[in-house]
C-alpha cells in the first residue's frame, strides 16, 4: 500500500524459493552487481553529507535521499538472491557487511531529514542562480569542521569494513585449509589404525602385507625401526646432571643399607666402567653420606691410573664432583669404549655347537647393548662383520630380512634375532643335560661377593698369615664385623 505522493511505500512481502539452475549460473553476475551497488551507496552517502554540510538545495537533498533508499532496496534484493546460493558461513559474513552499509545509510538519511526539518518554515528556494541565505563566518567554520569530522568517520568506517572483509576472507581460507588438513590427518590415522589392527596376530599380518606394495611394506618397517631405535640412557649420564646441579644429592636420616654387599676396586678398564659406576651410584652416591665421605670411599675403590686422577683432590662437594667428572672423562671415553667393545667382540669364541652358539649370542648382545648405550644404534658394517662368522643357514636367514637392499636394522634388532636364533638350536633336554653336567664338574659357588682381600689366592697350608686389610663394609658402616 502506498502513502501520499508515493512516500513511505511498504514493499510487498516476498517469498523465498529454492535456488534454480539459472540462479546458480547467475551467482557470479549477482556478486559483481553487489559490489557495484555498495560502491554507489558509499558515493551517495558521501555526496549527501557534502550537500547537508554546505546547506545545499532541499530538492537535491531529497532526491539524494530517495536515490539512497532505492540503492539500499536494490542491495537488499541482490543480497537475498545470493543468500540462496551461498553457504551459511559466507551468508553470515555478508550479512555483517550489508548491515554495516544499512547503518551508514541510515545515519546519512537521518542527517538529511534533520536538515529538511530545520528548513520547513522557509520559502522555496529561488532557482535563479542566487546563493543560499548567507550565514556568519563562525557558523560556516563550525559546519566545515563538522563536515570534515563526518567525512573522516565515514572514510574510517569504509576502511574498517574493507579490513574486516579482508580478515574474514583470510579466516575463511585458513578454516578451509584446517578442515582439509584435519580430514587428511583423520584418514592417515584411520589407515595406521587399520595397519595396527592387522598386526594383532600372524595371519592378519600375512593377509595385510598382501594388500601393501613393496614400497609400503618398506616404509612401514622403516617407521617401526625409527620408533624403536631410541638409545637407553648411559649409566654414567647422572654424573653430568649432578655436576650441572640438576641431580640433587640424596639426604636421608640413616645411611645403613639393608643389603650386605661390597664394591669392587676399579682398575680403569673401559669394558667394566658402566657396570662399576652403576653399582657405585647405587651403593655410595645415592646413600645419605656426605660428599666428603663419598670422596673417601671413591678413592679407596680405585687403583692405578684412576687413583692418580683423584688422589690430589681435597674434601667437600666441589672436589667430589671434580673427581666424578675426571673419572668419566678418562674412563668413560666413548671412542675408547667403542674400540674396546669391538675388540672384545672379535675375541668371542664361536663354534659349531648349540651351547657355544648360545653363549656367543648372549655375549654379543651384552657388547651391542654397551654400544647402544654410548649412542651407536645402527652399525651395518659391524652387523655384517658379525654375521659373516655365522654358518651359511644363519647368515642366509638374517640377509633374507634385508630384501637385497641396504642394512637399515638396528643393533637391538640384530642381537634379539641372534639370541632367538641361538635358542632355536636348543631344546629343553639339551639345556637340562648341560646344566646337570656343569653342576657335576664345577664345585658350588656362593652368590655373595667376597672381600677383595679374601678373594686373593692363598697357599694350601694353614700356617699362612692372616690378611690384616679389611675393606669398607656398607652394612657395618666401616670394617666388616
**C-alpha–C-alpha distance, residues 333 and 385, integer Å:** 24
Considering the domain architecture, whether residues 40 and 150 belong to the same structural domain is answered as yes
216 domain-assigned: no
Considering the domain architecture, whether residues 321 and 340 belong to the same structural domain is answered as no
- Tens place of pLDDT per residue across the chain (481 aa): 444 344 444 444 445 556 566 666 677 888 888 888 888 899 888 888 888 888 888 888 888 888 888 888 888 888 888 887 778 888 888 888 888 888 888 888 888 888 888 877 676 665 444 445 556 678 778 878 888 888 888 888 888 888 888 888 888 888 888 888 888 888 888 877 776 665 544 444 444 444 556 656 666 665 555 444 455 678 888 888 888 887 776 655 445 555 566 788 898 888 888 889 888 888 888 888 888 888 888 888 898 888 888 888 877 888 888 888 988 888 888 888 888 888 888 888 888 778 888 888 888 888 888 888 877 777 778 888 887 888 888 878 887 777 777 777 888 888 888 888 888 887 777 777 777 876 555 554 443 444 443 433 444 444 434 434 455 555 555 555 5
412 domain-assigned: yes
SS3 content of the chain, % helix, strand, coil (to 5): 65, 0, 35
**In the beta sheet, which residues pair with residue 302?**
266
**Is 81:25 a contact under the CB 8 Å cutoff?**
no
Considering the domain architecture, whether residues 313 and 382 belong to the same structural domain is answered as no
Considering the domain architecture, whether residues 351 and 292 belong to the same structural domain is answered as no
Considering the domain architecture, whether residues 172 and 104 belong to the same structural domain is answered as yes
Domain limit, last residue, from 332, 347, 363: 332
**C-alpha–C-alpha distance, residues 179 and 2, integer Å:** 50
**C-alpha–C-alpha distance, residues 101 and 157, integer Å:** 10
**C-alpha–C-alpha distance, residues 384 and 116, integer Å:** 99
Q: What are phi and psi for residue 473, nearest 5 degrees?
A: -110, 125
215 domain-assigned: no
160 domain-assigned: yes
- Could you tell me the sign of the dihedral formed by the alpha carbons of 28, 29, 34, 36, in that order? positive
Domain limit, last residue, from 436, 451, 470: 436
- Could you tell me the sign of the dihedral formed by the alpha carbons of 194, 196, 197, 202, in that order? positive
Considering the domain architecture, whether residues 114 and 250 belong to the same structural domain is answered as no
Helix (H) or strand (E) holding 478: strand 478-479
Considering the domain architecture, whether residues 341 and 424 belong to the same structural domain is answered as yes
Q: What are phi and psi for residue 472, nearest 5 degrees?
A: -70, 135
Surface-to-core class of residue 186, CB atoms within 10 Å of its CB (0-12 exposed, 13-18 middle, 19+ buried): exposed
Considering the domain architecture, whether residues 341 and 429 belong to the same structural domain is answered as yes
Count of structural domains, the chain? 3
481 domain-assigned: no
Considering the domain architecture, whether residues 32 and 161 belong to the same structural domain is answered as yes
pLDDT at residue number 35: 87
Considering the domain architecture, whether residues 56 and 86 belong to the same structural domain is answered as yes
Domain limit, last residue, from 332, 350, 385: 332
Helices 88-118 & 58-83, crossing angle to 10 degrees?
Answer: 170
441 domain-assigned: no
Contacts of 328 (CB under 8 A, 6+ apart): 236, 239, 240, 277
Considering the domain architecture, whether residues 305 and 381 belong to the same structural domain is answered as no
pLDDT at residue number 232: 65
**C-alpha–C-alpha distance, residues 61 and 124, integer Å:** 14
Considering the domain architecture, whether residues 114 and 89 belong to the same structural domain is answered as yes
197 domain-assigned: no
**Is 386:363 a contact under the CB 8 Å cutoff?**
no
CATH number of the domain within which 162 lies:
1.20.120
pLDDT at residue number 313: 82
Q: What are phi and psi for residue 431, nearest 5 degrees?
A: -65, -45
Angle at 284 between CA 239 and CA 315, to 5 degrees: 75
In this structure, the number of other CB atoms found within 10 A of the CB of residue 95 comes to 12
* Count of helices and strands (H, E) across the chain: 18, 2
**C-alpha–C-alpha distance, residues 288 and 77, integer Å:** 85
20 domain-assigned: no
Task: Supply the range of the domain harboring residue 364.
Answer: 336-436
Contacts of 46 (CB under 8 A, 6+ apart): 151, 154
Q: Which residue has the cell 547467475?
A: 26
Amino acid at each position: 500500500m502506498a502513502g501520499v505522493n508515493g512516500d513511505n511505500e511498504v514493499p510487498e512481502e516476498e517469498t523465498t524459493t529454492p535456488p534454480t539452475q539459472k540462479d546458480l549460473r547467475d551467482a557470479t553476475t549477482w556478486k559483481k552487481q553487489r559490489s557495484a551497488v555498495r560502491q554507489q551507496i558509499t558515493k551517495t552517502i558521501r555526496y549527501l553529507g557534502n550537500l547537508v554540510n554546505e546547506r545545499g538545495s532541499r530538492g537535491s537533498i531529497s532526491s539524494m535521499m530517495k536515490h539512497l533508499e532505492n540503492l539500499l532496496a536494490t542491495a537488499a534484493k541482490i543480497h537475498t538472491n545470493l543468500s540462496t546460493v551461498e553457504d551459511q558461513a559466507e551468508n553470515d559474513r555478508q550479512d555483517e557487511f550489508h548491515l554495516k552499509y544499512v547503518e551508514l545509510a541510515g545515519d546519512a538519511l537521518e542527517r538529511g531529514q534533520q536538515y529538511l526539518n530545520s528548513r520547513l518554515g522557509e520559502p522555496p528556494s529561488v532557482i535563479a542562480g542566487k546563493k543560499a541565505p548567507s550565514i556568519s563566518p563562525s557558523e560556516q567554520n563550525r559546519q566545515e569542521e563538522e563536515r570534515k569530522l563526518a567525512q573522516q568517520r565515514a572514510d574510517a568506517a569504509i576502511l574498517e569494513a574493507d579490513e574486516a572483509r579482508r580478515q574474514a576472507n583470510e579466516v575463511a581460507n585458513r578454516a578451509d585449509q584446517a578442515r582439509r588438513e584435519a580430514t587428511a590427518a583423520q584418514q592417515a590415522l584411520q589407515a595406521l589404525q587399520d595397519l595396527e589392527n592387522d598386526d594383532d596376530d600372524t595371519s592378519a599380518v600375512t593377509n595385510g602385507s598382501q594388500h601393501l606394495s613393496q614400497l609400503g611394506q618398506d616404509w612401514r618397517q622403516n617407521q617401526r625401526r625409527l620408533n624403536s631405535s631410541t638409545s637407553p640412557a648411559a649409566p654414567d649420564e647422572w654424573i653430568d646432571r649432578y655436576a650441572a646441579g640438576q641431580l640433587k644429592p640424596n639426604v636421608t636420616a640413616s645411611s645403613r643399607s639393608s643389603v650386605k654387599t661390597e664394591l669392587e676396586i676399579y682398575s680403569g678398564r673401559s669394558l667394566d666402567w658402566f657396570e662399576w659406576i652403576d653399582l657405585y651410584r647405587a651403593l655410595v652416591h645415592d646413600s645419605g653420606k656426605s660428599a666428603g665421605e663419598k670422596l673417601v670411599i671413591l678413592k679407596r675403590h680405585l687403583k692405578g691410573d684412576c687413583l692418580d686422577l683423584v688422589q690430589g683432590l681435597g674434601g667437600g662437594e666441589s672436589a667430589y664432583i671434580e673427581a666424578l667428572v675426571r673419572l668419566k672423562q678418562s674412563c668413560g671415553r666413548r671412542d675408547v669404549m667403542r674400540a674396546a667393545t669391538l675388540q672384545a667382540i672379535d675375541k668371542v669364541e664361536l663354534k659349531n655347537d648349540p651351547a657355544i652358539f648360545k653363549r656367543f649370542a648372549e655375549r654379543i648382545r651384552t657388547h651391542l647393548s654397551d654400544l647402544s648405550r654410548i649412542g651407536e644404534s645402527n652399525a651395518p658394517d659391524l652387523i655384517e662383520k658379525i654375521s659373516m662368522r655365522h654358518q651359511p643357514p644363519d647368515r642366509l636367514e638374517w640377509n633374507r630380512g634385508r630384501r637385497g637392499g641396504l642394512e637399515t636394522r638396528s643393533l637391538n634388532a640384530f642381537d634379539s634375532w641372534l639370541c632367538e636364533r641361538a635358542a632355536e638350536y636348543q631344546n629343553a633336554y639339551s639345556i637340562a643335560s648341560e646344566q646337570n653336567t656343569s653342576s657335576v664338574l664345577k664345585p658350588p659357588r656362593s652368590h655373595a661377593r667376597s672381600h677383595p682381600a679374601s678373594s686373593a689366592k692363598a697357599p694350601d697350608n694353614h700356617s699362612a698369615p692372616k690378611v690384616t686389610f679389611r675393606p669398607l663394609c656398607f652394612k657395618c658402616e666401616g670394617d666388616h664385623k
